[in-house]
Every structure is written in structure tokens, then in C-alpha cells.
């Protein structure tokens, strides 16, 4: 999960508002939603990925490598020495555009289907002084905002109005009418809440990048 129970309690969500069990379920759902709409995941996960060689010096895995334990090219273990391969991964530094393995010394990945196999630890993390890095602060906040947005019970009559509160331009209490602004002008809309959408849009995976 990209945020914790303690994080939500510190934001003022009391047990009377949501039990530990419900908050945990919402945090799990919010983290899965973030993964789905961005195309990345933002914590270290141990995985084995298979990629297609294209006869070029580089291949782009679908997720940033944090630590590569083994790289097989056509079933043969490749050297992971710094002067044999350049690895662009996480923790992500400024200027990051995509995860990438690049063979040096004029070598190329031979063409083939699933003929490049990499095992190790993967995830889009940011530097925090450790080898694995941490969940980006922006993603941490987006997950908490999603939970706050989903906290009202589905049967709560005020829930729908609360979710549209940010759009109210004019409200007249005498006859209970109000006027809403148009939907968010954010180029990519995930939730219709511009604050959350702007945060998540910053971390969306480039279209067509990497395939498992």
C-alpha cells in the first residue's frame, strides 16, 4: 500500500469514521487504482520479466529495475559489469524518461520473442538514501486523497454532493440551488477530481513503453 493506517489517522480519520479494516481495504483499492491508471507500480517488488530483443543495443523493460540479479540473453547469462551494460532504472533521478538496458562494447540484443529475461527487484521509487528508494511523495499523497474521496459510505445521501464540492461556482441557500463548473480541464482525467488527476498524470507511463 502507498499509505498506511497511521498516515490516515494522522490526517484526522478517526475509528468512528472508518475502522482499521475499512481503511485498509480502501488503501489497498487506492494503491491498485494508482497502478492501473499510471501503468507503473511504486514500491519494490521481486519479479522475473521477459522481453523481446530487437537487434538493437537497448531494450526497455515495462518497469524500472531497482536491482538486477540476473540477465539472460538467449538463455546465456550476461555480464552485469558497469563497462558491459548501462542500466537506467530506480530510484529514479531527474531526467528519467524510461527504464532501459543498454549493452555496451558494440553489442546488441538479438531479435527474438521473450529471449531477454531479467530477474531482480523492480518499481518506480525515488531516492531516500537507501538502495531500494521510497514510494514517491506525490503518489503517497494521491493514494491518501483517493481514500478521503471514497470514505463516504455508498448509502450516504451527502456523498455525491461532497465529491462535487470542488466544482461549485455559485450556491444559493434559500432555494438550495448551485451551479457547477465544467469538468476538469486536465488533459488526462482519471477521477474527475483535478487535484488527484494532476498528481497522477505526472507519473503516467509513456504509451507503448515496455511489454511483458
Q: Taking 80 as the threshold, does the pLDDT of residue 4 lie above it?
A: yes
C-alpha 85/C-alpha 88 separation (Å) is 10
C-alpha 105/C-alpha 84 separation (Å) is 7
Model pLDDT for residues 156-209, shown as the tens digit of each residue: 655 555 555 544 555 565 555 655 555 545 556 888 899 999 999 999 998 766
User: What would the DSSP string read from start to end of 102-145?
Assistant: EE-TT--PPSEEEEEEEEEEE---B-SSSSS-B--HHHHHHHHH
Model pLDDT for residues 25-47, shown as the tens digit of each residue: 999 999 999 999 999 999 999 99
Model pLDDT for residues 43-62, shown as the tens digit of each residue: 999 999 999 999 999 999 99
Grid coordinates given for 130: 537507501
Q: Which residues contact 179 (CB under 8 A, 6 or more apart)?
A: 168, 169, 170, 171
First to last CA, the chain: 23
In the chain, domain spans = 1-40+135-151+198-212, 45-122
pLDDT exceeding 90 applies to what percent of the chain? Answer: 73
What is the chain's Cα-based Rg? Answer: 22
Q: Taking 90 as the threshold, does the pLDDT of residue 153 lie above it?
A: no
Beta bridge partners of 77: 72
Amino acid at each position: 500500500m502507498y499509505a498506511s493506517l497511521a498516515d490516515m489517522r494522522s490526517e484526522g480519520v478517526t475509528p468512528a469514521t472508518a475502522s482499521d479494516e475499512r481503511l485498509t481495504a480502501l488503501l489497498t483499492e487506492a494503491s491498485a487504482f494508482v497502478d492501473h491508471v499510471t501503468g507503473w507500480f511504486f514500491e519494490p517488488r521481486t519479479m522475473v520479466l521477459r522481453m523481446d530483443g530487437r537487434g538493437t543495443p537497448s531494450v526497455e523493460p515495462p518497469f524500472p529495475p531497482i536491482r538486477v540479479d540476473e540477465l539472460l540473453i538467449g538463455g546465456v547469462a550476461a555480464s552485469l559489469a558497469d563497462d558491459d551494460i548501462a542500466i537506467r532504472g530506480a530510484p529514479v533521478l531527474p531526467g528519467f524518461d524510461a527504464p532501459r538496458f543498454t549493452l555496451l562494447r558494440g553489442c546488441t540484443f538479438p531479435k527474438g520473442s521473450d529471449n531477454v529475461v531479467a530477474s531482480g527487484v523492480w518499481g518506480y521509487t525515488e531516492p531516500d538514501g537507501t538502495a531500494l528508494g521510497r514510494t514517491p511523495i506525490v503518489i503517497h499523497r494521491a493514494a491518501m486523497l483517493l481514500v478521503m474521496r471514497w470514505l463516504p459510505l455508498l448509502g450516504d445521501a451527502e456523498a455525491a454532493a461532497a465529491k462535487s464540492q470542488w466544482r461549485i461556482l455559485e450556491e444559493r441557500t434559500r432555494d438550495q440551488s448551485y451551479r457547477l463548473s465544467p469538468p476538469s480541464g486536465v488533459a488526462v482525467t482519471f477521477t474527475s477530481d483535478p487535484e488527484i488527476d494532476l498528481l497522477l498524470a505526472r507519473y503516467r507511463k509513456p504509451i507503448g513503453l515496455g511489454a511483458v
